Amino acid sequence: MLTEDGKHLYVSYDEYHNLCEKLAIRIHQSGWQFDTILCLARGGMRPGDILSRVFDKPLAIMSTSSYRAVAGTVQGHLDIAHFITTPRGEIAGRVLLVDDLADSGHTLHKVVAMLRNNYKAITELRSAVIWTKGLSTFTPDYQVEFLPTNPWIHQPFETYDSTRPEKLLEKWKV
Q: Residue 164: which CATH number?
A: 3.40.50.2020
- The pLDDT value given to residue 76: 58
Instruction: Quick: pLDDT tens for 90-109.
Output: 899 999 999 999 999 999 99
Is the full-model pTM beyond 0.85?
Answer: yes
Say if 3 falls within a structural domain.
no
Say if 33 falls within a structural domain.
yes
How many domains does one find in the chain?
1
User: Which domain covers residue 154, as residue numbers?
Assistant: 8-172
User: Confidence band (pLDDT; 50, 70, 90) for 75?
Assistant: low
Say if 2 falls within a structural domain.
no
Q: What is the mean pLDDT of the chain?
A: 92
- The pLDDT value given to residue 74: 52
171: alpha, beta or left? (left if phi > 0; alpha if psi -120 to 50):
alpha
Say if 38 falls within a structural domain.
yes
Say if 29 falls within a structural domain.
yes
Say if 1 falls within a structural domain.
no
- N-to-C CA span, the chain: 34
Strands of the 122-128 sheet, one edge to the other: 74-80, 59-69, 36-41, 93-98, 122-128
Does residue 166 carry a pLDDT above 90? yes
Instruction: Quick: pLDDT tens for 17-72.
Output: 999 999 999 999 999 999 999 999 999 999 999 999 999 999 999 998 875 555 44
Say if 105 falls within a structural domain.
yes
- The pLDDT value given to residue 71: 47
Name the percent of the chain lying above pLDDT 70: 94
Say if 44 falls within a structural domain.
yes
Helix (H) or strand (E) holding 113: helix 106-118
